[in-house]
């Protein structure tokens, strides 16, 4: 009975250590072992407080505030844009996190649009610790020369975080040791 109690205690310890190990940590290795977590649990990249927006057949511009809420030193953003549903251009940059800062969106079209009614979308795919976390989708709708801008964070279906930390390895070691003790006592 004492061995079963030890085994249960080891399993409880291992479970709590694995749960702790799944938490993101700055500088943690992005090794191959991962654990699924709830969507958007690691952070988001959002834009709000859109001001001063203008648009015409030759382009658009708007000021905004960006909020990056990942608990780590940087995130990587790889993006693409569309104009009326057709691919337009791509972009990539790194951002420090967490932080909030003023920024803006804009484009000057190389060829003027035939009308001042169009939709331009920025899809900013975010990776954190080398793993996909979601996409910040910013939509610019120019309707007869009036700009309307929205932003939404779309979390990856199952964001993942590395679990090859020392705590996870310790938990695995405890679990294996408890299993070995249990098998030795049964024999």
Burial track 88-110 (b if 16+ CB lie within 10 A, e otherwise): eeeeeeebebeeeeeeebebeee
For the segment 21-57, what is each residue's pLDDT rounded down to a tens digit?
Answer: 333 322 222 333 334 444 445 899 999 999 999 999 9
Of 92, 96, 38, 94, the residue nearest 72 (C-alpha): 96
Six-digit token string for 111: 């060829």
The rounded distance, in Å, linking the Cα atoms of 23 and 44 is 16
45-160 in CATH: which number? 2.60.40
Strand 146-155 to 99-108 pairing: unpaired
* Reported confidence tier of residue 161, pLDDT bands at 50, 70, 90: low
Residue spans per domain, the chain: 2-22+163-186, 45-160
Return the pLDDT at 29. Answer: 26
Q: Are 134 and 47 in contact (CB under 8 A)?
A: no
Angle between helices 2-21 and 166-186 (to 10 degrees): 160
Query: How far apart, in Å, do the first and last CA atoms of the chain sit?
Result: 15
Average pLDDT estimate for 101-129: 97
Residue 186 buriedness (CB in 10 A; 0-12 / 13-18 / 19+): exposed
Q: Which residue has the higher pLDDT, 61 or 27?
A: 61
The order of strands in the sheet holding 118-128 is: 86-96, 74-83, 118-128, 131-143, 146-155
* Reported confidence tier of residue 160, pLDDT bands at 50, 70, 90: low
Report the half-sphere exposure of 80 (CA within 13 A, side-chain side).
Answer: 5
């Amino acid at each position: 009975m004492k061995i079963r109690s030890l085994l249960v205690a080891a399993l409880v310890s291992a479970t709590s250590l694995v749960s702790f190990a799944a938490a993101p940590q700055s500088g943690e290795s992005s090794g191959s072992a991962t654990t699924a977590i709830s969507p958007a649990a690691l952070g988001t990249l959002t834009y709000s407080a859109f001001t001063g927006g203008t648009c015409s057949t030759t382009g658009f511009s708007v000021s905004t505030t960006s909020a990056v809420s990942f608990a780590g030193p940087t995130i990587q953003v790889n993006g693409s844009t569309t104009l009326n549903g057709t691919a337009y251009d791509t972009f990539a940059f790194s951002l420090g996190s967490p932080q909030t800062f003023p920024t803006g969106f804009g484009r000057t079209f190389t060829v003027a649009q035939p009308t001042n009614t169009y939709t331009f979308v920025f899809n900013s795919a975010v990776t954190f610790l080398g793993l996909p976390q979601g996409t910040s989708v910013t939509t610019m709708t120019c309707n007869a020369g009036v700009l309307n801008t929205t932003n939404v964070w779309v979390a990856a279906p199952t964001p993942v975080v590395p679990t090859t930390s020392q705590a996870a390895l310790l938990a695995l070691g405890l679990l294996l040791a408890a299993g070995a003790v249990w098998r030795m006592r049964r024999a």
